Amino acid sequence: MALAKLLPEFHPRPWGRRSLAPLYTIPTDTAEPIGEAWLSSVSCRVLCPGRSPSEGTLGELWAQMTAAERGSELAGLERFPLLLKFIFTAEKLSVQVHPDNAYAQRHENEPWGKTEMWYVVAAEAEAWVRVGLKPGTTRAELQRIFGKPELEDALHHIPVQAGDAVFVPAGTVHAIGPGLCLCEIQQYSDVTYRIYDYDRPGLDGRKRALHTQQALAVARVETPEAGRVAPMRLALPNCKAERFVSGPYFVVERYRSESVCELTIDPRRFSLLVFCSGQGRVSAGQSGLDYAAGDALLVSADSGRIAIEPTLPTEFLRASALGVQGRDIAG
């Protein structure tokens, strides 16, 4: 297997949208606003031309992949290591925080916590995120304002526009504002501790639970590594390539191209390609798959070199997991 296409799963959210343009047509089987399109859930359907079976779930495919296909660093992982999503916001998300590996393992029976990165695919005017507590906020002050509206004012307010990237390590108190389409790259975890939710009802009409005790246990008052990240230019013919994040748990790069460009796949780890705009075809040896905006492809670690052949100007992200998923990184 060189290439596989991941079909998105759509998840309703009370803060979501009724239009997912320009990436998707909203599913016809839901009357609720869609907030997230999961691209690499283990239950996502996968198309693998040339492989038997050619269809299944990502979890089934991961169990069948060889060490060479997974990559030498990731061969021993029982669970697929990265969860990628598109997030569509019509309203503010809750103020929340995620645990690190150690807390998730001790208290949630999960192998990993949740460090994440957001890439802004599209943004309305004056769109924003809030990431990390302002300097001088003490743990006692944080505890006093938990669950209260003033918690928002204690967070760094970051205006964002299309093309921005924001890093959110585990333990960082954060919120996502309205009018955004984000691509979220994260450790494979869905553990979220809500701190403040604007007294908003969930889709069932009831107020959603807050998780004050857990959030206080994992929230960090200082997160200097959190916030907007500046891209580092990479040298690649026929393509504008930049790296946003290089660790501790994943690498994320952005590519923009109007002509054929080639990428080398690291044999230590598979790659996920997420197309934010454009149209064309990805080729790996004798295998090839067409792509359009909103598509996600898994590229096996043993693919060597692949070619991206745009028929329309294309922007995509490449995400790769690092082999330290089960350990917390000191400092």
Q: What is the pLDDT of residue 331?
A: 39
Q: Pick from 202, 227, 252: which residue ends a domain?
A: 227
- Name the helix (H) or strand (E) containing 175: strand 174-176
Task: With respect to residue 327, please indicate whether it lies within any of the assigned structural domains.
Answer: no
Show the domain range for 246: 232-321
The residues near 66 (Cβ < 8 Å, ≥ 6 apart) are 302
Both 199 and 255 in one domain: the answer is no
Both 198 and 305 in one domain: the answer is no
Rounded Cα gap, residues 251 and 224, in angstroms: 19
Both 88 and 220 in one domain: the answer is yes
Rounded Cα gap, residues 88 and 276, in angstroms: 13
Q: Which residues are catalytic?
A: 194
**pTM, full prediction:** 0.95
Both 118 and 223 in one domain: the answer is yes
Both 291 and 186 in one domain: the answer is no
Per-residue pLDDT 10s for the chain (331 aa) are: 689 999 999 999 999 999 998 899 877 677 789 999 999 999 999 998 877 778 899 999 999 999 999 999 999 999 999 999 999 999 999 999 999 999 999 999 999 999 999 999 999 999 999 999 999 999 899 989 988 889 999 999 999 999 999 999 999 999 999 999 999 999 999 999 999 998 887 778 788 888 989 999 999 999 999 999 999 999 888 899 999 999 999 999 999 999 999 999 999 999 999 999 999 999 998 889 999 999 999 999 999 999 999 999 999 999 999 988 877 764 3
Task: With respect to residue 326, please indicate whether it lies within any of the assigned structural domains.
Answer: no
Contact by Cβ (8 Å): 97, 172: yes
Both 114 and 33 in one domain: the answer is yes
Task: With respect to residue 330, please indicate whether it lies within any of the assigned structural domains.
Answer: no
Q: Residue 283 is encoded by which pair of tokens?
A: 């080729």
Q: What is the pLDDT of residue 53?
A: 73
What total number of domains does the chain contain?
2
Report the SS3 class of residue 258.
Answer: coil
Q: What is the CATH number of the domain that holds 214?
A: 2.60.120.10
Both 15 and 159 in one domain: the answer is yes
Both 52 and 71 in one domain: the answer is yes
**Residue 179 Rama label (left phi>0; alpha psi -120 to 50; beta):** left
Both 115 and 182 in one domain: the answer is yes
Q: Pick from 192, 208, 227: which residue ends a domain?
A: 227
Please give the radius of gyration of the chain, using alpha carbons only, rounded to the nearest integer.
19
Q: What is the pLDDT of residue 329?
A: 65
Both 78 and 48 in one domain: the answer is yes
Task: With respect to residue 328, please indicate whether it lies within any of the assigned structural domains.
Answer: no
Both 64 and 105 in one domain: the answer is yes
Task: With respect to residue 158, please indicate whether it lies within any of the assigned structural domains.
Answer: yes
Task: With respect to residue 331, please indicate whether it lies within any of the assigned structural domains.
Answer: no
Q: What share of the chain is helix, strand, coil (3-state, %, to 5)?
A: 10, 40, 45
Q: Pick from 177, 209, 227: which residue ends a domain?
A: 227
Task: With respect to residue 329, please indicate whether it lies within any of the assigned structural domains.
Answer: no
Q: Going by DSSP bridges, is the β-strand pair 240-246/250-257 parallel, antiparallel, or unpaired?
A: antiparallel
